[in-house]
Structure 1
Amino acid sequence: MSRPALADSMLPLSGRRGLVLGVANAHSIAWGCAEALHAQGAALVLSCLNEKARPWVQPLADTLGAPLIDCNVEVEGELEHLVAQAVETLGGLDFVIHSIAWAPLAELHGRVIDSSAAGFARAMTVSCHSLAALARLCEPHLGAGSALVTMTYHGAEEAIPHYGLMGPVKAALESTVRYLAVELGAKGVRVHAVSPGPVPTRAASGIEDFDDLMATAAAESPLRRLVTLDEIGALTAFLVGPGASGMTGQTIYVDAGFHAVR
């Protein structure tokens, strides 16, 4: 016998308002998070990179009834505009999901030792410092019980073949999470990094031999499989909700256990 559907007021995130950055298409981690958050009752504003991304993202946003705003964090003023529009639309913020990362392809495919200062700096700006900038802009709108979540990868902890420059950048991102957790904790704001196993996203397609990386993860993970966007979204929804009220400053894996055996 199936369970009756919960009334909207009974959903775990009913009444919560959130901003999700980085939706690229239906296979992006940000979209998996947005779907889970919406299903649990949250009201959302979504962002995509630019007008070129809209044909893939706008139909998704429309299914959730969520406004979609362009945001390239490398363009001056766009992050500020995004946060201001989200706050105006939603009347405030209870959580923010940061799911953006990028590195120049030549740097990503090369050795870290050969990386250029400019390429390293751009990767750090987009993938790491954008979280700090986002937290600063959102801080006035976040109160007790609110949460900020970003996305990382096990390459921050282990030297993963072909992950290259993004390994040090993600390590910096995880460190930033811990510092933000301390700095925002007095206000009751919680900060986490979610560390999914490899999933076939457009961003991941830039990593050399990514299919081999997924095959290794599926073969060696204790659960002998890859994780799904639904599982990543479910963890993220839990972390921004009341059930995780006593947690902050952590990197939390959802990778079928791969990190435990590597």
Structure 2
Amino acid sequence: MAPLADLSGKRGLVLGIANEHSIAAGCAAAFAEAGAELAVTYLEERAKPYVQPVAEAVGAKILAPCDVRVRGQLEGLFQRLEREWGELDFVLHSIAFAEREDLHTSVLNCSAEGFALAMDVSCHSFLRTAKFAAPLMTKGGSLMTVTFYGSDRVVENYNLMGPVKAALEASVRYVAADLADRGIRAHAISAGPVKTRAASGIGRFDELMDQVRERTPAGRLVTIEEIGRIAAFLASEAGAPMTGSVVYADNGFHTVA
């Protein structure tokens, strides 16, 4: 299939690839297919063997560690991008985390420390990413993050990630307003459930996928490739008039849920 967006001559950063099944991996593949030059990250050395094949497949020029919980690591990544590239056109932020004991209990019973950690990693890291990326987007650009329908409606077993993703979507709107005069736009891509390493931490996730499949008008789940094509469009000049949006990539599930 021919690429639906043109990213020739553009440079982008993809944060949050865990392995070839990640939503971020599907997005990276779509960016590369559309002609972009990429930098991709892995969480830590144990994760590198799972991410490196993805980086090689998309021809990534930069492969670097990035754990937003480690002080200075995100800043160091952007310093490297500034040294080696000097500019940046788009960023995909696909990072989320909650401690298992806080995720697997009700929002009433999650710990304050666990809630704060989930908010910092899953939401505030997007704000920090936007802050560091903006000076490199001298010709404008696109900032994208990944969210889920549980931000807007109660989804069984999604628990504290619901309010965290709601905060992320609100942050996108404020970032879009703050950076509009620089020609930098921001979006939250609300992806339907995909069986990824991150999603496996959600209780009874397989049941959720079955329920969504049954209730989705098309009767099928979205793929990481389909999500990637939407991300590539948003990163391209074709998506320039859009900003501050929650863009649904869920085969219409949000319309009937």
Runs of 4+ in 1 over 4 A off after TM superposition: none
Match of 2:179 in 1: 184
Q: Which residue of 2 aligns with 1:99?
A: 94
2:132 is paired with a residue of what secondary structure?
helix
Displacement of 1:89 in angstroms is 2.9
Give, in whole Å, the separation in 2 of the partners of 1:251 and 1:65. 29
* 1:218 alignment partner in structure 2: 213
Q: Which residue of 1 aligns with 2:24?
A: 30
Query: Which residue matches 1:193?
Result: 188
* Alpha-carbon offset, residue 64 of structure 1: 2.2
Is 1:135 matched with 2:125?
no
Alignment of 1:154-173 (within 5 A): 154-173=149-168
Decide which of 7, 24, 36 is 1:13's aligned counterpart: 7
Give 1:110's aligned residue: 105
The corresponding residue for 1:246 is: 241
The alpha-carbon deviation at position 82 of structure 1 amounts to: 1.1
1:41 aligns with 2:56: no
The Cα shift of 1:108 comes to 0.6
1:85 to 67, 80, 95: 80
Question: d(CA) in 1 for partners of 2:127 and 2:69?
Answer: 14
Q: Using the alignment, how far apart are the partners of 1:200 and 1:35 within structure 2?
A: 18
Segments of 5+ residues of structure 2 without an aligned counterpart are: none
The answer (yes or no) to whether the contact 1:180–1:191 under 8 Å persists in 2 is yes
Q: Measure the CA separation in 1 of the matches of 2:67 and 2:149.
A: 25
Deviation of the 1:84 alpha carbon = 1.6
Q: Which residue of 1 aligns with 2:53?
A: 59
Residues paired across the two proteins, number: 256
Offset, 1:65 = 2.3
The percent of aligned pairs where both chains have the same amino acid is: 50
Partner Cα separation in structure 1 for residue 145 and residue 153 of structure 2: 19
Q: Is residue 143–residue 189 contact of structure 1 (8 Å, CA) maintained in 2?
A: no
Asked if the contact 1:145/1:245 (under 8 Å) is kept, the reply is: no
Three-state SS of the structure 1 residue aligned to 2:46 is: helix
TM-score of the aligned structures, taking structure 1 as reference length: 0.95
Q: Higher RCO, 1 or 2 (CA under 8 Å, sep at least 6)?
A: 2
Question: Is the contact made by 2:222 and 2:251 (CA closer than 8 Å) also made in structure 1?
Answer: yes
1:140-159 C-alpha deviation (Å, 9 max, x unpaired): 11134410000000000000
The answer to whether residue 225 in structure 2 is matched with residue 230 in structure 1 is: yes
Deviation at 1:85, TM superposition (A): 1.6
Task: Give the aligned residue type for 2:127.
Answer: A
Matching residue's letter, 1:13: L
Distance across 2 between alignment mates of 1:87 and 1:232: 28
What is the rounded CA distance, in whole Å, between the counterparts of 1:165 and 1:60 in structure 2? 30
Is the 1:148–1:190 Cα contact (8 Å) retained in structure 2? yes
- The corresponding residue for 1:261 is 256
TM-score normalized with structure 2 length: 0.97
Return the letter of the residue paired with 2:124: H
